[in-house]
Structure 1
Amino acid sequence: MHDSTNDKSSEKSSITVMVCTLASRLLGILKARIIGSIFGASGIADVINFTFNIPNNFRKIFAEGALNGALIPYFTTLIESGEKKKANRLMALLCTYQLLFFVPLCILSYFLGEPLIAFFSDFTADKVALGAKLLPFFMVFLATISIGTTFNGLLFCHKSFFHASFAPLLFSLSVIFGVQFFHESLGAMSMAYATVIGGGLQGLYSYFAVRRFGYRLQVAVKPLGTPFKPLMIAWLHVMLGSSFLVVGQLIAYWFASGLSVGSVTAFSNSMIFWQTPYGIFFNAIVMVSFPLMSRSWALGSIDDLQKQAGTALQYLATFLFPSFILLYFLSNECVSAVLQTGNYSLTDSLLTANVLRYYLWGMVIIAWYGLLQRLGYSVNRHRQMTIVSIIQTALDILCMWVLLHYGLGIIALPIANAISFFIGLVILIVILKDVYPITRDRRLAKGLLRLVIANLPLLGLCVLYSSWKLTWYQSGSNLKTFFFVCLLGLTGVGVTVLSYSIFRIPFLQILFARKQRKENTQE
């Protein structure tokens, strides 16, 4: 009965996160469309995307890495133990020390912006100057998002999944509104001001949501009985590993900035499309399964830990398999229907779609890598996870350099990414085999085989469509192309749902079972 209740709660939580993340990704695509339409794949757009990527990558250290790797286990332990005052003080400590770190960082970015942008890019002097002007605003955004993530960590621990997942929508809405209505008067700086306002709104919303659970923000510098020290040790391990990931991303953008004009924008926009299905399903599944794995390890329930890890891996494949197929065969259509407008030409769209297709090959690999890394954090192997992150990043950089040397151009970046994460995944499987022997998980193997068979109808339909070599999407972004893309996408989803129903794929079966239980209760 206990396991059944947890399963139902997990599924409901996953759906909540999934819906909010879907809205966030759709707004992200709309944001990219507006920026692309206004600034095109021009030098200005390249500078905006490049400069914003600097704090956005550091967000993975101070926000995503901290939340996924350290905060949740410690906050969960305090809350479950009824030590809410210590949890409140721990939140205050984290916010105080983040402010002490970010305020000087923002000041430094103002005075050292030009040499920093010049060091990390191959931009001309005027582009470097623009990037330096934008950077301090984007660093303020980093500070607000990082502190807001601390609040979101508490919200997840209190199972307030909606508020934690809704907050990021405010940032996207702010940027969309700011750029759309103020670009004529402010130019590229409309993005800078909108980013600061959006980050502030996101952080404030999360804080007011946390206040509903009795938490209050205050200045604190002494731990006073809180698990601040072990949390910081775990956080430092996570940040070190994430730092190498950031370095890899910065080098990837540096490589892209040295290629033809528009390469940075194509690289950046391809990631937006790639992250739409990936972010939706990865966040929905991992952000729910990670706290459960941490609890299982703390309680010494290895069997439950292995079951949760295997189930999460299967759920990721359940959604990412069809996502890969649909987006791979409809990449030209999707990119053109969304971005090909204004100054964003067909050539720009096709380049973005081509980069996207290569990134898609690593989608499931990267998701599994991320899940197993969370499993490592759950069992307190932060040091090993950091070493694996360093190895993966080093391999990524090496592969990029080699592939670019042999003339592959911009597609060298996604190919190198897939290769390095695959090797990293293999290393994680070996390191964690004593905790979760994935190669002996027959339940997972049978589930994956069923998933592959269940996705064959969708694959066949997409191959058939691709063989027709239609070019209707080349007219660009308009209601007609958008309608046809939606129609094709819904057809693919319908085929997938029907096939999954026939083969009794677990996740959808649970959803349908819940609906049936509700109907039975009403009767």
Structure 2
Amino acid sequence: MHDSTQSRRTARNSLLIMVCTLLSRLLGIIKARVLGSVFGATAIADVINFTFNIPNNFRKLFAEGAVNAALIPAFSSLLGRNEKHRCVRLFALLCTFQSLLLIPLVLVSYFYGDGLIAFLSDFDANQVRLGGRLLPFFMVYLATISLASIFNGVLQAHENFLHAYLSPLLFSICVIFGVWFLSDRYGAMSMAYSVLGGGLLQGSYSYLMVRRYEYRFKPMLRPQNAPFKEVLVAWALVSLGMGMQIITQMVSFLFASHLSEGSVTAFTNSTIFYQTPYGIFFNAISAVSLPLMSRAAASNNAPLLRTYTRNSLLSLLALLLPSSIILFFLSRESVSVVLQTGNYTLADATLTALVLRPYLVFMVFSAWYALMLRLGYSANRHALMTRIVFLQNLLDIALMWVFLKLGLDIVSLPLANGIAYTLGLFILFFLLRDLFPLTKEARFFKGLLRIVLANLPVLAFCIFYKNLGLQWHESGSSFANLAYLMLIGSAALGIMLLSYKIARIPLLSLLRSKKHGGNLQGDNLIHLD
């Protein structure tokens, strides 16, 4: 009974995360359209986007991935050993540390905002003054969501994924309605007030949810029995890796800016399409599996850790492989239907689709690489994982340079990225072979073969469609073309679901398994405890 109950819970958690991530992406599109509608492509919009990007870069270091990779394994391990009192103390210490770190940043932005904007930009005097007024509000938002990331990490360690992934939606909703209704009265400052309100709403909601588990936000400076130092070291190491990823992203845009006109836009837009299926499915799998893997590692339960890792890898393959195939063959159609309107031409859409395809070829390997990093984090091997992240990013930059020299143009960027992730994946398989011995994983290869074979009908359908040479998408964005795209995509999806049913691959039973490893027979192909 315990196995079936846990299986249903983990499947439900994965589905909830998928839905919340999808809603987040949709709200992000709506937010972008509202901001574009209100502020357009004006000098004011440039200041808003530039200034808001400052806390967004800090967010990658103080919140989101960096915090979760260090925090969730620590809390999950303590909870797995029934050491709740140490969790409560660690929570208070982390909140105090974040506050002491971020309050000075807020104060500096308030007293020296104009100077910071002037130093970082080439704006004129009016734009600098506007940026200086916006920056303190945006930095308070950084403080609230950085604390919210701690709250949400604790919620995930307690396997409360609904509220952890629901709270960010509140921020987007607040910004959308705030800018829409306040812009006539407050102009650009409507963005400042909306961002501030959204950040406070997100943080307050997450804190109210975490209080239900008896955690309290109170000043505390003495670690005593809490593993505070260990978490800070892990946090610092993961932040170094995130910093390296930011540098690689900046280098990518630098390379793209030296190519032909439209290359930067094509590169940016291609990542939007790639990140949609990747973000939805990877978040659903990794968010549920990381706390479980951390608890298994803390209890030295090697068979259970292998099971969680194996089934997470297979779940990612079952979800991302058909996504890659369908979007690869419908890349031009998808980009044209979504973006080709006004000054965005068919040539622009074609270039974006060209950049998108290498990302899709390597999407499964990229997701596996990220999951194996989390396996290392769950076993507290943060230093080793940081070295791998540095190596992978340096390899990415080197390959971009080589491919550009070979004349591959803008395709060099996604191709280098995919190859670097794939090589990093095999390095991780080798270095983490004591946690997940790939060469001894017959069940993994059996599951892999079954999923690949089940996707052959989808591949055949997509090849058949592409050989028809239909050009309906060339007219660009319209309701009729959207209907065509949905019809073709639905047909491919229907073939995939039928094929998976015949192969007995249960998509809705994500992350389910027997406690002692289970098997890969029938409906137990993709499962966790």
By the TM > 0.5 criterion, same fold? yes
TM-score (norm 2): 0.85
Counterpart position of 2:335: 335
- Residue 115 (1) aligns with residue 119 (2): yes
Report the Cα offset of residue 265 of structure 1: 4.0
Report the Cα offset of residue 472 of structure 1: 2.8
CA 349–30 in structure 1, closer or farther in 2 if over 3 Å, else same: farther
SS at match of 1:380: coil
- Residue 273 (1) aligns with residue 277 (2): no
Contact 1:50–1:264 at 8 Å: present in 2 too?
no
- Higher mean C-alpha displacement, 67-76 vs 15-24: 67-76
Counterpart position of 2:470: 470
Contact 1:42–1:262 at 8 Å: present in 2 too?
no
Deviations 1:384-443 (A, max 9, x none): 101101101111122223333444443322122112111111110110112211133111
CA RMSD across the alignment: 3.4
Contact 1:36–1:344 at 8 Å: present in 2 too?
no
Contact 1:117–1:131 at 8 Å: present in 2 too?
no
How many residues get paired? Answer: 509
Identity of aligned residues (%): 52
Q: Where does the alignment leave 5 or more consecutive residues of structure 1 unmatched?
A: 119-123, 518-523
Report the Cα offset of residue 284 of structure 1: 0.8
Report the Cα offset of residue 50 of structure 1: 6.8
- Residue 25 (1) aligns with residue 25 (2): yes
Contact 1:37–1:343 at 8 Å: present in 2 too?
no
| Separation in 2, partners of 1:183, 1:469 | 47
- Higher mean C-alpha displacement, 19-28 vs 292-301: 19-28
Contact 1:38–1:342 at 8 Å: present in 2 too?
no
- Higher mean C-alpha displacement, 298-307 vs 172-181: 172-181
| Separation in 1, partners of 2:313, 2:92 | 35
- Residue 456 (1) aligns with residue 460 (2): no
| Separation in 2, partners of 1:211, 1:432 | 36
| Separation in 1, partners of 2:469, 2:344 | 23
Residue pairs, 1:421-460, within 5 angstroms: 421-460=421-460
Deviations 1:351-381 (A, max 9, x none): 4333222322221111101111111111221
Deviations 1:297-354 (A, max 9, x none): 1222111111111111000000000111122222233233333445655454444333
CA 83–510 in structure 1, closer or farther in 2 if over 3 Å, else same: closer
- Higher mean C-alpha displacement, 452-461 vs 172-181: 172-181
- Higher mean C-alpha displacement, 286-295 vs 266-275: 266-275
Contact 1:337–1:473 at 8 Å: present in 2 too?
yes
Q: Partner letter of residue 120 of structure 2?
A: L
Counterpart position of 1:521: none
| Separation in 2, partners of 1:58, 1:482 | 38
SS at match of 1:170: helix
Residue pairs, 1:350-389, within 5 angstroms: 350-389=350-389
Counterpart position of 2:527: none
TM-score (norm 1): 0.86
Report the Cα offset of residue 4 of structure 1: 4.2
Contact 2:44–2:127 at 8 Å: present in 1 too?
no
CA 263–108 in structure 1, closer or farther in 2 if over 3 Å, else same: farther
Contact 2:76–2:292 at 8 Å: present in 1 too?
no
Deviations 1:249-280 (A, max 9, x none): 22223333444565444433322221111111
- Residue 309 (1) aligns with residue 309 (2): yes
| Separation in 1, partners of 2:437, 2:313 | 13
- Residue 492 (1) aligns with residue 466 (2): no
- Higher mean C-alpha displacement, 131-140 vs 479-488: 131-140
Q: Partner letter of residue 169 of structure 1?
A: L
| Separation in 1, partners of 2:49, 2:473 | 25
CA 50–112 in structure 1, closer or farther in 2 if over 3 Å, else same: closer
Report the Cα offset of residue 102 of structure 1: 2.4
Contact 1:293–1:309 at 8 Å: present in 2 too?
yes
CA 196–10 in structure 1, closer or farther in 2 if over 3 Å, else same: same
- Higher mean C-alpha displacement, 25-34 vs 452-461: 25-34
Deviations 1:34-58 (A, max 9, x none): 5567778899888876765554444
